[in-house]
Amino acid sequence: MKKTDKIYIAGHRGMVGSAIHRKLKQEGFTNFITKTSKQLDLRNQAKVDRFFSKEKPDYVILAAAKVGGIMANNTYRAEFLYDNLMIQNNVINAAHGVGVKKLLFLGSSCIYPKFAPQPLQEESLLTGILEPTNEPYAIAKIAGIKMCDAYRSQYGSNFISVMPTNLYGPNDNYDLDTSHVLPALLRKFHESKSKKDDKVVIWGTGKPLREFLHVDDLADACYFLMKKYDLPQFINVGSGSEVTIQGLASIIKEVVGYQGEIVQDLSKPDGTPRKLMDNSKLQEMGWKPTISLESGISQVYNETFVSKQA
């Protein structure tokens, strides 16, 4: 990748897209093309084709997607399937149409079967039933992986797929209905502390295990893979450490300095019991994460809640 090559970041304002944009700028890249979803509806094939014909990017980071936590996935099932299929079909096909040198497609750890052996290995894909709450999103992301591989097989396209674990970091979504657990708990503990509430409600039993990776580590891994990885097999990107939701709540309670109690809302789903990614393929290539969960949570809390109040 030359520093002057034209790079299109689809989803540049989202948590993942903005982190990759930051990372590439830090590495000295200068030639970016970005469009907000209002400027370019990626679900519209004709508009996407026209955009690619005009801009002819050399590289594409496909980080645009309809994303959300367990409740959003389970509520907006049709939108999670339709929007994500349309976005990725249009961008991947148009990238082929103008001969993009390389495309990186972002998926998610939810593509794996609900009860796949842990840690999750890439070979386990499609070996069992999916977690019902996020099946539409998982099906869309699996289709994206298969589409990248099919274009490589038929046309020789260098389209790679990256499957990150649960992510957190700057530009996260803090809406309590649609967000993921980590930002939701940061907000809940912060607001309960500010309002001097005596308890914070967490969804489900608190027993599920989750792995978390700071989005700046993901961005570093994506840059690493853009430089070094050119194979059909999609690749996991994780931190290698997991925590129960109850344990995460305790970490966040500590970081926020909240004194009240944590109670469970058992009417809410637990979702997948565990989804620890097997990171060995990426580690064997020489990459590893650098931001620990505790320091990452403190950094995000201070940037998002504390400094804004100062």
At 207, the amino acid letter reads: K
Structure-token pair, residue 150: 């099919």
Decide: 131 and 109 in contact? Cβ < 8 Å: no
Binding residue for ligand GFB, selected from 245, 291, 293, 297, defined by CB under 6 A: 245
Which strands, in side-by-side order, build the sheet including 209-214?
166-168, 209-214, 242-244
Q: What is the Cα–Cα distance from 202 to 214, expressed in whole angstroms?
A: 21
In the complex, minimum distance from the CB of residue 229 to ligand GFB, in angstroms, rounded to a whole number: 21
Neighbouring-strand partners of residue 243: 210
Identify the CA nearest to 233 among candidates 280, 268, 184: 280
Query: Tokens 């650098």, residue?
Result: 290
Contact code string over 2-41 relative to ligand GFB, x by CB under 6 A: ----------------------------------------
Residue 55's alpha-carbon distances to 8, 29, 48, 91, in angstroms, are 9, 17, 10, 13
In the complex, minimum distance from the CB of residue 176 to ligand GFB, in angstroms, rounded to a whole number: 6
Binding residue for ligand GFB, selected from 18, 166, 279, 304, defined by CB under 6 A: 166
Residue nearest to ligand GFB (CB): 69
Number of residues that bind ligand GFB (CB under 6 A): 25
Contact code string over 246-285 relative to ligand GFB, x by CB under 6 A: ----------------------xxxxx-------------
Q: Of the two residues 52 and 112, which places its CB atom closer to ligand GFB in the complex?
A: 112
At 270, the amino acid letter reads: D
Residues 134-153 that bind ligand GFB (CB under 6 A): 134, 137
Q: Does 202 participate in binding ligand GFB (rule CB under 6 A)? A: yes
Q: Of the two residues 103 and 167, which places its CB atom closer to ligand GFB in the complex?
A: 167
Q: What is the Cα–Cα distance from 162 to 275, expressed in whole angstroms?
A: 16
What do you get for the CA distance between the two ends of the chain, in Å?
A: 41
Taking CB under 6 A as the binding criterion, the range among 9-17, 133-141, 147-155, 291-299 that sits at the site for ligand GFB is 133-141
| Residue 137 annotated to the active site | yes
Contact code string over 89-128 relative to ligand GFB, x by CB under 6 A: -------------------x-x------------------
C-beta neighbour count of 31 within 10 angstroms:
14
In the complex, minimum distance from the CB of residue 97 to ligand GFB, in angstroms, rounded to a whole number: 29
Decide: 276 and 118 in contact? Cβ < 8 Å: yes
Contact code string over 51-70 relative to ligand GFB, x by CB under 6 A: ------------------xx
For 58-177, list the strands marked E by DSSP.
59-62, 102-106, 159-164, 166-168
CA atoms within 13 A on the CB side of 45: 7
Binding residue for ligand GFB, selected from 7, 81, 104, 184, defined by CB under 6 A: 184
Q: Does 229 participate in binding ligand GFB (rule CB under 6 A)? A: no
Among 8, 59, 137, 151, the active-site one is 137
Q: What is the DSSP string of 91-145?
A: HHHHHHHTT-SEEEEE--GGGS-TT--SSB-GGGTTSSPPPGGGHHHHHHHHHHH
Binding site for ligand GFB (CB under 6 A): 69-70, 73, 108, 110, 133-134, 137, 166, 179-181, 184-185, 202-204, 208, 210, 245, 268-272
- Residues known to be catalytic: 137
